[in-house]
Amino acid sequence: MSRSIFGTDGIRGRVGQFPITPDFCLRLGWAVGKVFGKEKDCHVLIGKDTRISGYMMESVLESGLSSAGVDVTLLSVMPTPAIAYLTRTLRADAGIVISASHNPYYDNGIKFFDGFGNKLNDATEKEIEFALDGDLTCVDSKDLGKVSRLEASNGRYIEFCKATVDRALSFNGLKLVVDCANGANYHVGPKIFEELGAEVISIGVDPNGTNINYQCGSTYPAMLSEEVIKQNADAGIAFDGDGDRVIMVNELGEIVDGDEILYIIACDRLRKNTLGGGIVGTMMTNQGLERALSSLGVPFVRADVGDRYVLELLREQGWSLGGETSGHIICHDISATGDGIVAALQVVASMVVEGKRLSQLTEGFIKSPQVLKNVACEGLTENILDSKYIAEALDSKTHDLAGKGRIVLRKSGTESVIRIMVEGEDMESITSVADDLAKTIQENAG
């Protein structure tokens, strides 16, 4: 292979374009089978979100794995964290998720977990890429992998999620709006909160293959805010298409993002003396969280953007809680990966235990003004931000902030966009900075 196919969260792209094509996915399944099954009999789980292309990709990955002699269990539609959990508890050798997370339906992707439910390390990804260069072969007929379906997978994950909340705790009396983004959580998310006693109003639970993430879910919380107000609900919960992100809405219809969710969970664990160290955020995490945690005596460190880097730093520090502003929240003492349902459960449980409204749980966290912009750029290259003109503009704007703010420019690992984050003392000035940088990028990114 002349270039890496793995981004920050597996492999992702437009369906029908490399690498999200039937022929490549067939070869990928075979290569994964060769890597994981090279020294022993091998068993791999495959799950997917609700995209129409998931059926095509599931069948060709299954064929590739079987041709390499690997047994396959199909989980059908399941959220990403559920596949990580089942890979671990069923003692499979690897798990595969067919999903492009928060992207539109016409994108898709493939994410991998090892037998412990962890995302693959760089060495294993490189080994898979090396195997892709080999000649696609097929084992003898008697050695072909067998394929089966696990019908009880939903129930296993539902019980796991419920068990993350104290058994004596009930959500009875709470009214929650749950938006599943027409994605992988549509059949498990509402049920979990209902079984814990809450009254649940479900939206985004009618997937048709093409409406995943469309004007709903964690990337479009406006509908959730409206529904919370309309229903006079206590809170709203919005997942993304594959269920590993969560954004919430308080009773006033105000967005509660990943930084605020981290703050709430951290405060809850401080009260229970279960925090066990500090918090890992990213370069995009609002400075207000860092200040709020500092006032509580809680250490805070920043990782590169991407939940895999948050997880790596959590392990390095020996801590258990971290996440991203976008809603990837990792409770590493509970789950091996980001889990939107688990994170939301911790927040709702804190509401019940504290007897407080969701808006009250964030009162100790004052955000710094922050502007986020995405600049679409086709044909992105790794060194696009090394452009002389972009670098000069960045230096100039950083100087303008005079040490009273931050600028982060980064190439997205999941979409063809440059992400701009500007943080400072007032919204007007940082909006101007972000707009000027966006214009410079648009003029020089070609």
Active-site positions read 101
Rounded-to-integer distance, Cα 310 and Cα 315, Å: 9
Q: At what angle do helices 258-272 and 287-295 cross, to 10 degrees?
A: 10
Contacts of 349 (CB under 8 A, 6+ apart): 165, 166, 169, 268
137 to each of 33, 85, 150, how far by Cα in Å?
11, 31, 28
Rounded-to-integer distance, Cα 60 and Cα 62, Å: 5
Q: Which two tokens stand for residue 411?
A: 């190439």
Q: Which helix (H) or strand (E) holds 376?
A: strand 370-376
| Three-state secondary structure call for residue 312 | helix
Dihedral of CA 74/77/82/83: which sign?
positive
Phi, psi (rounded to 5 degrees) for 334: -110, -45
Contacts of 214 (CB under 8 A, 6+ apart): 104, 105, 182, 220
> How many Cα atoms within 13 Å fall on the side-chain side of residue 181?
32
Rounded-to-integer distance, Cα 328 and Cα 102, Å: 11
Q: At what angle do helices 340-354 and 153-162 cross, to 10 degrees?
A: 30
Contact 240, 327 (CB under 8 A): yes
Task: Give how far the C-alpha of residue 274 lies from the chain's centroid of Cα atoms, to the nearest Å.
Answer: 24
